[in-house]
Amino acid sequence: MRSLVIAVAQPPVHTLDIAANATRHAAAVRAAAARLVVFPELSLTGYDLDAPLISPDDPRLRPLIDACAATDTVALAGAPIAGPHIATLLIDGDGARVVYRKTNPHHTESRFAAGPGPEVVEVDGWRLGLGICRDTGIEEHAASTAALGIDAYVAGVVDEPAADVVLAERARKISTTYGVWVAISSCAGATGPDYPETAGRSGIWAPDGTVAARTGRAVGEIARATLFADKLARV
């Protein structure tokens, strides 16, 4: 039976300290024991909208690349990149590359341009549609992503503590509407000047909308689940 072990992580984030954050991401990868580990929005810099842009070949990412190589893990981490865009980097033992640019930036994120649209990455035959934070609440984005033929919708987010309810509602809606797995990594603790506290409560939802795994609010927690293809009910 085709399956994929996925984890959503909420590591401590030190604002603008890319080297420290990469090291903490690496520790989460080693602890997760998963094929795919998902991190929150802008996880490598913290949610500071003035953060310097990161290049995929930044040498400070080396600890994370090495951890992925040692554990045969694929990581999806958040970073600001040239454009500028709020983006998702895919990191594995071969290095890092940009795989998605946020399609629907918030009005407060005016520094960043909107990305070109939905994207899919493939891991072990699993087609993963990508989103970042506000994207998860835009019906057109979910529909356009699902139309690419996905097995799971995967996103990193940052939000206020009360928004964990919204996160769960969005995840259930996407999973049940499109019959796919949903995995969302939500930042915990402080990140950047606008977020002295964040929601945490990262989670993984099955195609029927039930919770497969979910963290609490604490920094450092990881939730893990095995995704099975026979649970898919794509329309």
Domain regions of the chain by residue span: 3-228
Q: Are the CB atoms for 131 and 101 separated by under 8 Å?
A: no
Strand order in the sheet with 152-157: 120-123, 126-132, 152-157, 181-186, 203-205, 211-214
CATH assignment, 3-228: 3.60.110.10
pLDDT tens sequence for the chain (235 residues)? 599 999 999 999 999 999 999 999 999 999 999 999 999 999 999 999 999 999 999 999 999 999 999 999 999 999 999 999 999 999 999 999 999 999 999 999 999 999 999 999 999 999 999 999 999 999 999 999 999 999 999 999 999 999 999 999 999 999 999 999 999 999 999 999 999 999 999 999 999 999 999 999 999 999 999 999 988 975 4
- pTM of the model as a whole: 0.97
Quote the CA–CA distance of 228 and 135 in Å, as a whole number. 25
> What's the pLDDT at 233?
78
The answer to whether the bond into 84 is cis (omega within 30° of 0) is yes
> What's the pLDDT at 234?
57
> What's the pLDDT at 235?
47
Quote the CA–CA distance of 220 and 226 in Å, as a whole number. 20
